[in-house]
Chain A
Amino acid sequence: MLLNPDEWQALRLSLEVALWSLIWNLPVAIAVAWVLVRRRFPGRTLLDAFVHLPLVLPPVLTGYLLLVLFGARGPIGGWLLRTFGIHLIFTTAGTVLAVAVMTFPLLVRAIRLTLEGVDAGLEEAARTLGAGPLDRFFSIALPLMLPGILAGAVTAFAAGLGEFGAVITFVSNIPGVTRTLPLALYTALQTPNGDAIAVRLALTSFTLGLAGLVLSEWLARTLRNQLGRGNLNA
């Protein structure tokens, strides 16, 4: 089954967008997950709810909110445009932002779950052994969060490939710029005689999604086993 150039372009764009959104998201998601699990502060519940908002809001509404905030006249978008000359609307960068916002909660949830299973006493022990806050984070917390980080990353990547509502609302459907896999699929369905294209794109999406989920499960299990028991061949 071969894809035509337009379809390849959509697939490549999807992969690119999902990857970049993941790269931007990861450090922030790790930090937010850590803060949510390890710190007690006023407004923690609110932050928690805010992080998860994209999961429960209609994606179209998330896209609209992005439009309001990051549009050329929006408070953040206007500032970005004036200060750095960055356009987000109708651009690939904007697509990355929309996908990043939509997949952020998936990432935070996965990392958080792992971190909750990591005994905070280990970080205390590291303290008594002379490790400062950053040192403790990188030598203890981060490696132990790794299974969650990787599993979350794969899930978020796979979900990012398929993000539709927020993308089409925020950056529209421009071939080669913002038309990712699901948008191309949608376009094909709207086109007379586009069925064959639609089927090919659907199968591609299906394969990618399934592969992502299987990979995520496998990674999580492998890492858990490694931490769990056994000898090191070192």
Chain B
Amino acid sequence: MLDIDVHKQRGAFAARVSFTSSTPGITALFGRSGSGKSTTIHMIAGLLRPDAGHIRIDGTVLFDSARGIDVPAEERGIGYVFQDARLFPHLSVRDNLRYGMRRARGRAPTLQFAEVVELLGLQPLLARRPAGLSGGERQRVAIGRALLAQPRLLLLDEPLAAIDVARRGELLPYLEMLRDRFSLPMVYVSHQFEEVLRLAGDMVVLEQGAVAGHGDVVTMSHFPVLRDIIGAESLGAVVEGRIEEFEGASDLALIRVGSGALRVESAGLRPGQRVRVQLLARDLILATASPSGLSVRNSLAGRITALEPDGARAWLVSTDVGGVTLMVRVTDEARGALDLAVGQSAWVLVKAVSLRGHVFSGSPRVAAPPA
């Protein structure tokens, strides 16, 4: 378990960050640029000295200002994948990978060279110099290099940021594989909510150098501060479930959500798989009577639990559909016409095609959220 409570003043910027995260699994450190994410992981890695506080991992004290403990970065055993990869230009990929391996300081080699090379697809790159690699290849080497140093915690600082937007998708499966394959705790810094959705179990939201909220991603998707950061267009409840069955030849897969079921396009999915689905508030439709004669494939019955103004002329309607809360954005006019009120019965309609690109497979919650 990572337990951090640190304070750092840098010029006019003050960071006061405190959270604990369970191991293993990915904890996302999420926030706008300048919110203190990088400062925080620099302190965890030991590259920046906090003014006060403590940092512990699984009972090992890495920093404690009160007790005068400050373990140097090179002795912390914390892997760091930098935004810009930072491969050593004078060494081949093979020697880059071995750099940390040779300096693992007696930590048991649980990750073998051959295994890491194979999993990250590095075999064809081994003899090459970093300068000839693409952005994605560099990050894969950087990840492999960090893993082979046998870290007890892996920090990833926006590893996709330096990669062309079009090619970011190529690295994500490797990160998912890493998460599912190894019981290595990871802290993943990002300001892209989609990456968090795909990868993280827990998320810590940072705002202006302080923790604004912390919890599992499903819970946090309803968190007010998150709405401000990701913007109204990206706002939506996140639900998790298992692919139960494929519906005949219709190419639709069924996921149980609350007391109902959600049909999503089945391409790329397989039965039994755990998935996470983001239901954007702007894509959902609310009905006050059981709908019929519609093309919409998904209709979830529930009850309105909250009505909040959302911007100038819109409302955000939270609806409980059997233990799962969904958020629907309606116009001010629609709210008036339907006479929406808390406690009222309602049906949430979801077009299956609107979920294209919002179904994330894998098992982000390999690690149970903290009890």
**Interchain CB contact under 8 A, B128 and A232:** yes
- The answer to whether the Cβ of A47 comes within 8 Å of any Cβ in the partner chain is no
Chain A residue with Cβ nearest B107 = A130
A128 and B73 in contact, given A122-B86, A139-B99, A231-B127 (Cβ under 8 angstroms): yes
Name the CB-closest residue of A to B89.
A227
A170 to B94, CA, bound (A): 53
In the complex, residue of chain A having the shortest beta-carbon distance to the beta carbon of B90: A143
Contact at B92–A232, with CB atoms within 8 Å? yes
Nearest chain-B residue to A125 (Cβ)? B86
Q: Are B86 and A124 in contact, with the CB atoms below 8 A?
A: yes
Contact between chains at A129 and B149 (CB < 8 Å): yes
Which residues of chain A are near B84, meaning CB under 8 Å? Answer: 121
Assuming A122-B88, A129-B103, A130-B103, is B128 touching A227 (CB within 8 A)? Answer: no
Please give me the residue from chain A that is nearest to B102 by CB atom.
A130
Residues of chain B contacted by A125 (CB below 8 angstroms)? 80, 82, 86, 88
A190-234 interface (Cβ within 8 A of B): 226-234
Asked whether any CB of chain A lies closer than 8 Å to the CB of B170, the reply is no
Number of A-B contacts (CB under 8 A): 84
Closest B-chain residue to A223, C-beta based?
B90
Q: Is residue A66 contacting chain B, with contact meaning CB distance below 8 A?
A: no
User: Which of A122, A125, A132 has the most chain B CB atoms closer than 10 A to its own CB?
Assistant: A125
Decide yes or no whether A68 CB sits under 8 A from chain B: no
Give Cα distance in the complex from A139 to B90, angstroms: 10
CB contacts (< 8 Å) of B105 on chain A: these are 130
A125 to B86, CA, bound (A): 7
Q: Is residue A140 within 8 Å, beta carbon to beta carbon, of the partner chain?
A: yes
A135's partner among B92, B103, B128, B146 (CB-CB below 8 A) is B103
Chain A residues within an 8 Å CB radius of B74: 127-132
Chain A residue at minimum C-beta to C-beta distance from B73: A127
**Contacts A122-B88, A139-B99, A232-B92; is A128 near B129 (CB within 8 Å)?**
no
**What residues on A are CB-neighbors of B145 within 8 Å?**
129
Size of the chain A interface, CB-CB below 8 angstroms: 26
Which chain A residues numbered 105 to 131 have a C-beta less than 8 Å away from chain B? 119, 121-122, 124-131
Whole-angstrom CA separation of A139 from B91 in the bound complex: 10
Contact with A along B127-141 (1 / 0, CB 8 A): 111011000000000
| Complex contact B89–A144 (CB within 8 A) | yes
> When A121-B86, A124-B86, A234-B92 are in contact, do A131 and B103 touch as well, CB less than 8 Å?
yes
> How far, in whole Å, are A128 and B80 apart by their CA atoms in the complex?
6
CA of A135 to CA of B105 in the docked complex: distance in angstroms? Answer: 13
Q: Which of B47, B104, B127 contacts A130 (CB 8 A)?
A: B104
Closest B residue to A142 by beta carbon equals: B90
- Minimum C-beta distance from B96 to chain A (A): 9
Residues on A lying within 8 angstroms of B by beta carbon are: 119, 121-122, 124-132, 135, 139-140, 143-144, 226-234
Interface residues of B (CB under 8 A from A): 45-47, 72-80, 82, 84, 86, 88-90, 92, 94, 99-100, 103-105, 127-129, 131-132, 145-146, 149
**6 more A-B contacts (CB under 8 A) besides A124-B73, A128-B76, A228-B89?**
A122-B88, A127-B46, A129-B99, A130-B149, A131-B103, A234-B94
28 contacts between A and B (CB under 8 A): A122-B88, A122-B89, A125-B86, A127-B46, A128-B45, A128-B46, A128-B47, A128-B79, A129-B99, A129-B100, A129-B145, A129-B146, A129-B149, A130-B103, A130-B149, A131-B99, A131-B103, A139-B99, A143-B90, A226-B90, A227-B89, A227-B90, A229-B129, A229-B132, A230-B131, A231-B128, A232-B128, A234-B92
